[in-house]
Amino acid sequence: MQVVVRVRPMNEQEKTRRYFQCVFPLDKKRLLLVDPEKYEKNILRANRQHERQFGFDAAFGPNSTQEDVHEATTAHLIESVVQGYNATIFAYGATGSGKTFTMIGTKEQPGLMSLLTRSLYDKIDEETDTVQLSYLEVYNEVIRDLLNPSAGILELMEDEKGNVRVPGLSSVRAPNMNRIMQILQEGNLRRTQEATEANKTSSRSHALLQVNLLRNNRQHGKLFLIDLAGSERASNTNNTGQRLKEGAAINRSLLALGNVINSLSSGNKTRYVNYRDSKLTRLLKDSLGGNARTCMIAHVTAASGHYEETYNTLVYASRAKNITTRPTQNRPSSADAGYAEALREMRKEVDRRSGAISNSMNQLSENNRRNGSDRLKNGVISTTPKKDGARGSSLFTQLKEQYMTLSDKQKKLRQRLMRANQESYEVSMGRTSKIAILMAWEKQKHIEEKTAQSIERLKADVSELEERAEALVDTRRKTEKSIRKNTELMKGLENRLRGQALSKEQTELVDLIVRMSEIEAEKISVRNDLALHDIIMKKTDNSMAKLHKYENLAERLIEGNVEESDRLQLEQEYRIVKNQFHYHLIPLKNIQSTVSWNTELLPSIASPVSSKMSSTDFPLDQTFVLNKKKKQRDSVPLLPTLQRYHSQDLETMSDVDLDSPTSHHLPPLNAF
Ligand SMILES: Nc1ncnc2c1ncn2[C@@H]1O[C@H](COP(=O)(O)OP(=O)(O)OP(=O)(O)O)[C@@H](O)[C@H]1O
């Protein structure tokens, strides 16, 4: 985790109170904090150490600008997001220390939320990338959608992949920078703000802006920007009543965040990290200990009157510096890069050759026109269009355009097939887990009413998944039919094109566009395989994380030096994690039988695109084209027949390797 500190300048009120500067930037990374007591003549404390140095990844003094902070800390994170990583930036500090100023800023001095999203727009490829925004606040442990306040109170859920989600949270497409600014402004107006002693417009909630980067409509990179509520103490802000209550809630989540930071930074890998204590830590789970690139911007004021908060913030930030995260890319984008590169080159080549052919044909047509008029003069009219280069050329060009249009349609159909495949995989895995859980519970003799309700809900989930699976089978069938029909049309067009090709250039152009269509199909195939692999890897990673957690809990319980009150909670957690681990493994164990098919209409790739695929030799590589044709399979792939779940089917699922369920071995019904 990158940790930086920003010192805000003293304001008029602080100057009137005759506070003096007590934080001094020493250089670009270090700060000196001077205890105001140094200047008081207190004999009892004369020997106390009054100065302390702190070192961070960067330190910004009172005169730093928004751009300074952005350039030195967060600008490079955008590069990571474009490459497919997740990044998180959060502003920490006491009330009035400048968090909202840094994150949101003013119209004249826009903050990181605008600067970062602007640089994101500069870097993305508008043809393939889309930006989506979600904006929520956590106030008094309640989550609200800042973009759609009528959604009411939202809940937090952890899905079976361990990802934290907020169902019902709206996300809006942000086509340009102006729209982003408008969205942010609207959202900020809805944020819970009140005047406190310490800040006239104090943000009482934690605000989380999520910027999603979609590439070809799939999740690619994610940016989380978080403006935390002030870490003040109630006594300092003279708050009472509602303010005191929310102060406690703010402190609870910040305390939980502090505990998480302490556990993660202790260097003890087996130390238990409790994210569950607050909504904030649950939301930030993936960003703190997980795979995101994280930057914390701690804020302090330079004024001596806030020495205590400044000291606490700097100690908090120093601890956070010890947290290490392991950023992982969302998807290895390089595996299909060879195909993308080859296609780009081929497209250029097609344009070049088409241009050359149409030039020479225009020339030919001009000559024919002249000859024609000569012939007319002599009373002779040519009636042989096949031999007429100009007419042949325009038909050739038309057929070529038609072929390219069909090829484009084929690409879209294949992409649809790929999406249906991926979703089928996910649906199948989810269904297997859920059925295994149901089986375990239905074997129980005595079921309480509350549990029975959960079982009913789970059954409803299973039948929803089954309906979805059936719909997907239908989509696959229809799409495959269309692909097959399209393939025939393309084949017919290819034959007509070859018949029309009069020159070597035209024959080569036909080879090229046919090959391009094949490479497009291979590229989609590689992507499909990667995505399926990714789904399995994520599931495996998640199970490994559960295993790790399970081991940690087991070790702590075995060691025995746990307080009695903690022990009960630990034991309960241990049982939940143990069961989660067990049931997570089931779809992985059954992966072959669960989803053994892959579509044969996406060509199977023996080896990744080879270096010999250069723009000069692949288009005309006839042997390659012929080999590929021989390999093409025309049999219809068998789709697995979906067996719907009925409780009497329990015994038929014997391949699910379950221990006989006991009350200690029952899977949590709602933890998935
Ligand atoms: N670096 C800065 N330069 C100039 N003014 C600043 C700076 N940082 C903060 N301020 C000003 O200080 C005041 C308090 O800042 P801000 O509202 O950002 O604090 P905060 O930490 O978000 O407080 P809270 O937690 O209560 O929301 C604002 O008027 C803001 O404009």
Q: Ligand 1 centroid vs 278 CA: distance in angstroms? A: 25
The C-alpha atoms of residue 283 and residue 285 are separated, in whole angstroms, by: 6
Q: What secondary structure does DSSP assign to 45-81, as a single string? A: GTTS--EEEEE-SEEE-TT--HHHHIIIIIHHHHHHH
Per-residue pLDDT band at 610 (split at 50, 70, 90): very low
Percent of the chain residues topping a pLDDT of 90? 8
Enter the ipTM: 0.97
Give the residue, 388 or 297, on which the prediction is more confident.
297
- pLDDT value of residue 589: 66
Per-residue pLDDT at 201 exceeds 80: no
> Cα(3)–Cα(411) distance, rounded to whole angstroms?
45
Choosing from 66, 97, 101, 309 the residue with most ligand 1 atoms within 8 A of its CB, the one to mutate for a pocket test is 101
Gap from CA of 171 to ligand 1 centroid (Å): 28
* Alpha-carbon distances of 323 from 76, 294, 344, rounded to whole Å: 19, 10, 42
- What 3-state class would DSSP assign to 528? helix
Q: What is the pLDDT of residues 282-335, one digit of tens each?
A: 887 776 665 667 888 999 998 888 888 898 889 888 877 765 555 555 444 445
Distance CA 215, CA 230 (A): 36
Q: Which amino acid is at 363?
A: Q
> Which pLDDT band holds residue 236 (cuts at 50, 70, 90)?
very low
Q: Is 99 in the pocket of ligand 1 (CB under 6 A)?
A: yes
Atom of ligand 1 at shortest distance to CA of 97?
21
Residue 252 — pLDDT band, cuts 50, 70, 90? Answer: low
DSSP state of 29: S
Percent of the chain's residues with pLDDT above 70: 65
- The alpha carbon of 96 and the centre of ligand 1 are apart by a number of angstroms equal to 5
Q: pLDDT tens, 509-553? A: 888 888 888 888 877 777 777 677 667 766 776 677 677 777 778
Residue 94, marked binder: yes
What DSSP designation does 124 have?
S
98 is in an annotated binding site: yes
Residue 96 assigned as binding residue: yes
pLDDT (0 to 100) of residue 244: 53
Q: Specify the residue with its C-alpha closest to ligand 1, atom 8.
A: 98
Distance (Å, whole) CA 355 – CA 357? 5
User: Is residue 93 lining ligand 1, measured as CB closer than 6 Å?
Assistant: yes
Distance 21 CA to ligand 1 centre (A): 17
* CA 153 – ligand 1 centroid, Å: 28
Axis-axis angle for helices 307-320, 241-265 (nearest 10): 40
Stretch 74-84: mean pLDDT, rounded?
85
Q: Is 99 annotated as a binding residue?
A: yes
- Which has more pLDDT, 330 or 135? 135
Whether ligand 1 lies within 6 angstroms of the CB of 96 is answered as yes
Query: CA 564 from chain center: how many Å?
Result: 41
Residue 165 is predicted with a pLDDT of 80
Rounded to whole angstroms, the Cα distance separating 230 from 313 reads: 11
Ligand 1 pocket member 204 (CB < 6 A): no
C-alpha 393: how far from chain center:
48
Give dist(CA 487, CA 490) in Å, integer: 5
Average pLDDT over every residue of 180-196: 71
* Cα–Cα distance for residue pair 324/321, rounded to 1 Å: 8
From CA 309, how far away is CA 307, in angstroms rounded? 6
Whether residue 171 contacts residue 182, with contact meaning beta carbons closer than 8 Å, is answered with: no
For the chain, list the domains and their CATH numbers.
68-298 (3.40.850.10), 337-362+384-653 (no CATH)
Which amino acid is located at 506 in the chain? Q
Contact 630, 467 (CB under 8 A): no
Vertex 309, ends 307 and 314: CA angle to 5°?
A: 95
212 bridge partner residues: 132, 222
Q: CA torsion sign, 135 to 139 to 143 to 144? A: negative
Q: Are 393 and 385 in contact (CB under 8 A)?
A: no
HEC sequence for 239-296: CCHHHHHHHHHHHHHHHHHHHHHHHHHCCCCCCCCCCCCCHHHHHCHHHHCCCCEEEE
Lowest mean pLDDT of 345-349, 450-454, 553-557, name the range.
345-349
Which pair of structure tokens corresponds to residue 257?
A: 């965040």
**Sign of the torsion angle spanned by Cα atoms 524, 530, 532, 538:** negative
- CB 427 within 8 Å of CB 534: no
21-35 burial string, b = 16+ CB within 10 Å, else e? ebbbbeeeeebebbb
Mutate which of 8, 23, 70, 228 for ligand 1 pocket (most atoms within 8 A of beta carbon): 8
Q: Where does the pLDDT of residue 48 fall: very low under 50, low under 70, confident under 90, or very high at 90 and above?
A: low
Secondary structure of residue 505 in the 3-state scheme: helix
Q: SS3 sequence, 149-199?
A: HHHCEECCEECCCCCEECCCCCCEECCCHHHHHHHHHHHHHCCCEECCCCC
DSSP state of 84: T
Q: Cα of 299 to ligand 1 centre, how many Å? A: 9
Average pLDDT on 83-104 reads: 88
Residue nearest to atom 14 of ligand 1 (CA): 96
**Of 595, 578, 591, 590, nearest to 657 (Cα)?**
590
| In the block, residue with structure tokens 């709602």 | 670
Between strands 51-55 and 30-34, the pairing is: antiparallel
Q: What is the C-alpha separation between 110 and 216, in angstroms, rounded?
A: 30
Of the ranges 213-217, 233-237, 242-246, 542-546, which is most confident? 213-217
Asked if residue 97 has its Cβ within 6 Å of ligand 1, the reply is yes
Residue 504: pLDDT band by 50, 70, 90 thresholds?
confident
What is the Å distance from ligand 1's center to 102 Cα? 8
Q: Tell me the three state secondary structure of residue 269.
A: coil
- 439: tokens are 């089986």
**Is the backbone of residue 162 left (phi > 0), alpha (psi -120 to 50) or beta?**
left
The answer on whether 93 is annotated among ligand-binding residues is yes
